[in-house]
A and B are shown apart, each in its own frame.
Chain A
Amino acid sequence: MDEDMSRTESPGPLRRPGAAPSALRWHRGHDHGVAGGRRDEVDVHRHLQDANDRHADRIRRLLAEHAVFAANLMSSPGSGKTTLLEATLARLEGEMRVAVIEGDIETTADADRLAPFGIPVVQINTGPFGGDCHLAAPLIASAIESLDLHQVDLLVVENVGNLVCPAEFDIGEDRKVVLLSVTEGEDKPLKYPLMFHEASLALVTKVDLLPHLDVDLALIRANIHKVNPEAEVLTVSAKTGEGLDTWVEWLRHAVQTKRTGADAH
């Protein structure tokens, strides 16, 4: 057992709040603190993600009811989420109905870039100066309320650029997709393991830059598979179009599977 885990200052009886609140004031196991008051250790045992996960479950049910496939796109800032999205939307135009939720700490720049596609885009700003560095499920839940899910086949959530926190929050998506651009270095999957561990698909982006860089693509793949042996890895370039057919096919298949699953129910 971890050394930290055996540290306990005042064992004593553990109590759950709520059952009998008044009992917390008076019970046999109390100690007298420095100030002379009674000391009591209350067993709370509360998962800090509970509130988020309840919202995520509600979102998941809503998406299932409407047979909408939701992909959560995550990456560090600047690895090409919005550019990939533009290239993806251009290919899917007229083929399926896409809606996008854009998450940023500030600005509507990304939503503005997608305006030419004429699709529903909801911009979430988590707010500057201490604004959240990720999208949590309650924000997604209220963003979804402004969408008509009957008119949507594919919902893409572009998360706040950050390789750490977005991985922590279930937003009710079907799949987490992580982007890693070739300029970020081969070691990122090992340095930000939770993100790559949670993702079903990893897109290595900007591969058009490979001839100009000392980057080992095989090592990027190997490092992704170290933290997640089951992850699919695709290489793409939104600039040249390389690999986009495979990525778009992945989306088509996912949307189709979700629809078939919904029909079967």
Chain B
Amino acid sequence: MHEMSLACTVVEEVERVLDECGPKARAISVRLEVGRLRAVVPEAMEFCFEAAALGTRAEGARLIIDQIPIRVRCETCDDEWTLESVEFFCPACDGGVSVLSGKELLLRTIEIEDDEE
């Protein structure tokens, strides 16, 4: 459900950037980085983005979502690994881990087309 409010934020940002780029600029694609801990469902996000973009300058742009894996580091033995299941402790020493990646929620790039000569 949070995909809709996220999609609205993305559309606002895209419009802001397009405003800076010129009156005829339009978005071709929009690339997001989303950490797996964020529980964003890509299909739901794409659907919400399409709906939120209707009637805006982001309408019709393709949403590309790069999912970022959850990387953790053991605070005791310093090992790093990618979490495949949600077990936030070290399998070797049972120690606590710090999260290195997986919480990202980032508008990376916008591909823009500008007809103006």
Contact = CB atoms under 8 A, between A and B. Distances in A.
A42 B17 contact: yes
A44 B37 contact: no
B28 interface: yes
Q: How large is the interface on B (under 10, 10 to 19, 20 to 34, 35 or more residues)?
A: 35 or more
Given A44-B13, A48-B13, A165-B1, A35 B115 contact: yes
Q: Quick one: which of A9, A17, A48 has the most chain B CB within 10 A?
A: A48
Interface in A41-58: 41-49, 51
Which of A2, A9, A164, A193 lies at the interface centre, i.e. has the most chain B CB atoms within 10 A of its CB?
Answer: A193
B1 A133 contact: yes
B9 interface: yes
A28 to B, nearest CB: 15
B9 A42 contact: no
A45 B66 contact: no
A149 interface: no
Given A2-B66, A33-B113, A48-B9, A21 B1 contact: no
B56 interface: no
Interface of B: 1-2, 4-6, 9-10, 13, 17, 20-22, 24-25, 28-29, 32, 37-39, 64-69, 85-89, 96, 105-116
18 contacts: A2-B66, A4-B66, A14-B109, A41-B110, A41-B111, A42-B17, A42-B112, A44-B13, A45-B107, A134-B5, A136-B5, A162-B1, A164-B1, A164-B2, A164-B39, A168-B39, A190-B85, A229-B88
